[in-house]
Each structure stands twice: as structure tokens, then as C-alpha cells.
Amino acid sequence: MIFNADITYDELYSLFQERVRRNEPLTRHCALGVGGTADIWVSLESRKELIGLVSLCAEEHWPLLAVGNSTNVLYADAGVRGIVARLALKEYRIEEHGDGTALLVADAGVSWPLLLHDLAILGWGGLEFGAGIPGTLGGGVISNAGAHNSDLGHVLEWLEVLDARGSNLESEDQISYPYVRRYQHDELDLSYRYSRFRAKRQARFDGQGPLIAPQRQMIEPPEIVMLLGIRLHREDPRRLQTIIAEHKMHRKLSEPPPHRAGTVFKDPPGHDIDSLLEQIGMKGRTHGKAQISTAHANYIVNLGGAQAADIAALIMEAHHRVHDRFGIELELDIELRGEWDVR
Ligand SMILES: Cc1cc2nc3c(=O)[nH]c(=O)nc-3n(C[C@H](O)[C@H](O)[C@H](O)COP(=O)(O)OP(=O)(O)OC[C@H]3O[C@@H](n4cnc5c(N)ncnc54)[C@H](O)[C@@H]3O)c2cc1C
């Protein structure tokens, strides 16, 4: 079946009105401020809307990419064909256990910075290590996001996904509808910047050659995180606010301003990517309007008008030179999405 963006837009407009947009510039949405256009961009505000849209895409064979705040995505200059659905599902509740602990049950689209602000006021600790991580909880669990020697895996108990793997496999005349399933912590393969959801979905380097984006699937990712259960504990609100302020200050002193900047690589085991790139003189290196940050070399900064291809060129050069000098194979943390053809 051929995807017709105009017809799809009309159908989606009747469901989502002004929350759906045609030919939406991705530069407006991603942290790095690059990328072409999405054929269709839609913002989803409830699990019901998400289930409805994914089911419709499965039925109609419409390509769909689900994202959070796009702070760990590098969109291609050629954009994204099909629908990009931003998960803006923002509800959460706190179930107190009466022993100084609680379970936070949060939608995947809950923004980490906004949540931290609320939890600090309410005196619930557990997630403050992530002060300054600009994404959503759902996006965070994909990479097991973390900082200050902790990560989401330390506090996550379970999560619920919308499993659309069957919709990606079936032929056109056999629709397999997505369904909700729950994973417990131990089923998620959580480790340093990794979860089971990243298997075969990360860009890789072809030896010392090009960067290869993962193969696109019709419903991408095939398992979409909808709800998370996270352990919290009672903490003095003033202490929480102090910890958050300290973490933010640490970032301010050691990282570039977050506007139009993004983290790129994982730290290789036993090494610090900032120091590796500094040793080979990559700090401050530019390609077009993209620059490896002078403040912290794991950030690339869009100086204004950078292309995604400029960022990819810096990534490939850094990968190549680190391998040449140290024999270390760098891995990407940022994810390439859209119509990439990097050579
Ligand atoms: C200034 C800055 C600082 C950062 N600091 C850190 C840091 O200290 N530590 C760290 O770990 N990261 C850091 N990051 C990276 C990034 O913020 C995190 O990885 C964040 O958790 C990504 O969340 P997101 O909502 O933006 O995900 P997105 O970028 O929107 O998505 C990332 C990937 O997850 C998928 N995805 C998103 N939501 C879902 C969902 N609900 N279900 C299934 N798949 C989903 C997307 O399809 C995409 O493949 C930083 C980024 C920036 C720009």
C-alpha cells in the first residue's frame, strides 16, 4: 500500500485538529535543531490516542515513528517519511506505601525536568540524579538514561508497552493489532545506556567507513513505552532542591548551554569520551555550522544553520580518529532517524 500523506493528513486532522501538521520542520523539535520535514507531525496526549493511532497505522499500513522530546535523535536532512508522533502523554500519580516509599506511575511522555520540579516540592526522591536531562521518561528508558552514577534502571520497577511487533510482520491482508503488555525490570536488559528496546535499532559504523542507520520499520519503535512504574522515597524537599541545584550547576560549569546542543557518544568502558576527543584535538572542531563543543567534547553544538550531515561528518571523523589513535571502537548514544544515506 502506498502512503499518501495528503489523504492521511485529512484523516488525522479530523481526529487531532491543530495538533496535526503537514510538512513540519523537524528543526523546531529536536535538541540539535537539524533535520528536514516530517510528512506529518502529530502530538498525542493520552494513551487512548496512542493506541488509536497505532492501530490505525497498523490497519492502513501507514509508517509511524514515535518520539519523546527528540533530545536523543538526529533527524536526517531528508526528513522523515510518514507520521512522526510526539508522545506528549503527561499524567502521573503517586501511590504511597505508608513506609516512606511510593510508586510513581507515570505516562511515558512525562518530562523529566518538569517532574523533578514537582517531586522536589512534594518531597519525593529517586529521580534527582537526572536533573538536566531534557527528555521524557519514555525516551529515557530506551537508552537507560542516567548521570551522577545512577540511571533509570536503578529506580524502574516495571513498564507497559504497546506491542506492535506483529503489525510490522504481517502481510497487508492479515492485520495484527497492537496490544498492551507489561515488562518487569529484570526483563528489560538494562545496562549502561542500553535496554532491550535498543537491540538492532542503533546506528553503527561500517568498519572505519560510513555510518549506517538502522532499517526502518513500519511502526517504529515496534514496542512503544506507554507507562512506567518508578520507586520513590521520602526526602526532605530542601535537600532535594539543593541536590538538583548542584547537579544543574555542575552541568552549567562543564557542558555547553543546552540550546541547540546534544550528547553524541557513549563513554567507552574505562574511558571518558571528553578526554579521548581532547587528546586527539577534536574539541572545537567544526564541520559546516556544527562544532564539537569546546566545553565538553561529547556534545555537538549547532552554531546556527548546521545540517544533520555536518553533525554526521563530525561523528564519523571522531570515530575514525579515536580508533586510529587508541584502537577504541566508539558507540553512538544518539539515534539516527529518518531518511539517512550517510556515505
Ligand atoms: C543538553 C542535553 C543533555 C543530555 N544529558 C544527558 C545525560 O546526562 N544522560 C543521558 O543519559 N542522556 C542525556 N541526554 C540525552 C537525552 O536527553 C536522553 O537520552 C533522553 O532520555 C531522551 O529522551 P527523549 O524524550 O528526548 O527521547 P527522544 O530523543 O525523543 O527519543 C530517543 C529514542 O527513543 C525512542 N522513544 C522515545 N520515546 C519513546 C517511547 N515512549 N517508547 C518507545 N520509544 C521511545 C525514539 O523513537 C528514539 O529512538 C542529553 C541530551 C541533551 C540535548
- pLDDT 10s digits, 113-126: 999 999 999 999 99
Q: Which of 72, 129, 191 to mutate to test the pocket of ligand 1 (most atoms within 8 A of CB)?
A: 72
Peptide bond connecting 269 to the previous residue in cis, omega within 30 degrees of 0? no
Residue 343 has pLDDT above 60, yes or no: no
DSSP 257-314: -STTEEE-BPPPTT--HHHHHHHTT-TT-EETTEEE-SS-TTEEEE-SS--HHHHHHH
| Ligand 1 pocket by Cβ (under 6 Å) | 31, 66-73, 87, 108, 133-136, 138-140, 142-143, 145-147, 221, 224-225, 258, 261-263, 335
Residue 210 has what pLDDT?
A: 83
Number of domains the chain contains: 1
Residue 331 has what pLDDT?
A: 95
Is 323 among the domain residues?
yes
Is 328 among the domain residues?
yes
Is 177 among the domain residues?
no
Helix, strand or coil, per DSSP, at residue 225: strand
Is 165 among the domain residues?
no
Would you call 278 exposed, middle or buried from its count of C-beta atoms within 10 A (0-12, 13-18, 19+)?
middle
Q: For atom 46 of ligand 1, which residue has the closest CA? A: 67
The string of pLDDT tens digits covering residues 290-311 is 999 999 999 999 999 999 999 9
pTM, full prediction: 0.96
The predicted model gives 120-148 an average pLDDT of 97
The predicted model gives 218-240 an average pLDDT of 97
How far apart are alpha carbons 129 and 194 in whole angstroms?
A: 17
Is 320 among the domain residues?
yes
Residue 33 has what pLDDT?
A: 97
> Chain-wide mean pLDDT for the chain?
95
Is 39 among the domain residues?
no
Work out the angle between the directed axes of helices 237-254 and 112-122 (0-180°, nearest 10): 150
Q: Which of 161, 217, 214 is nearest to 187 (CA)?
A: 161
The predicted model gives 255-272 an average pLDDT of 93
Is 319 among the domain residues?
yes
How far apart are alpha carbons 70 and 260 in whole angstroms?
A: 12
60-74, 94-108, 246-260: the lowest-pLDDT one: 246-260
Which residue range(s) make up the domain with 288? 256-337
Grid cell 579521548 in the structure block, residue: 276
What CATH number is associated with residue 289? Answer: 3.90.78.10
Helix, strand or coil, per DSSP, at residue 66: strand
Residue 173 has pLDDT above 90, yes or no: no
How far apart are alpha carbons 51 and 179 in whole angstroms?
A: 8
The predicted model gives 193-215 an average pLDDT of 90
Residue 323 has pLDDT above 80, yes or no: yes
